[in-house]
Amino acid sequence: MGEIKSTLDLVMERTRHLTLSSEEKSAQNDREQLRRIQGLIQKYRDQVITLAEMEKKLARDYPAELHGDSGMLHSELLRQIQLGRDNGATLVLLETVCKADTAALAALLAEYDQSLAGARDQQAARRLADLAARQGIAGSALIPNLDTDPEWQKAREELAQRFDRRLTQIKGI
């Protein structure tokens, strides 16, 4: 009677002659380390682990060159910084773990938030004035929905692009 083979057995038979080159092994190892580092960053952001626990895990499980000022952790943290998002935890990690100077990044992010809020207020005031002039609708209860305003979307996008160029320069990417 014939032997019944599992799918795994069939796959193993067909691929037993395949091996990874040293470059492929290195790339696979780098991807795995990056995924683990991303997981640690997410745990810290979600407040599952403290900063001290993060530092202990990095020191214990990863070589110093991965979380130094030019290592994988530093690069990943810089990559994750985005405009209009809460970057506080990321900046703390950059400052304490990677020993990076984050003053310029923090200043740019704060400037973007202030510019965005100012532009939003100006656009809202314009929309309210437009409603009052065109349709005679006015009052303190009116709140314009800027998310549906194409003019605001374009202005917000232009502001984000301008600041994103500066952010890219500061990151050095």
Does one domain contain both 55 and 114? no
> Does residue 65 belong to any structural domain of this protein?
yes
What's the domain range around 125? Answer: 104-171
Query: How many domains, in total, are found in the chain?
Result: 2
Question: Dihedrals φ, ψ of 70, to 5°?
Answer: -130, 20
Is 60 exceeded by the pLDDT of residue 34? Answer: yes
> Does residue 2 belong to any structural domain of this protein?
no
Q: What is the DSSP letter of 146?
A: G
Cα 158 to Cα 79, 98, 149, 151, 172: the distances in Å are: 21, 32, 14, 11, 21
Token pair belonging to 129:
């004035």
Is 70 exceeded by the pLDDT of residue 160? Answer: yes
Q: CB under 8 Å to 79, separation ≥6 — which residues?
A: 173
The pTM of this model reads 0.77
- Of 100, 116, 140, which closes a domain? 100
More confident of the two residues 137 and 4: 137
Average pLDDT, the chain: 88
The one-letter amino acid code at 53 reads E
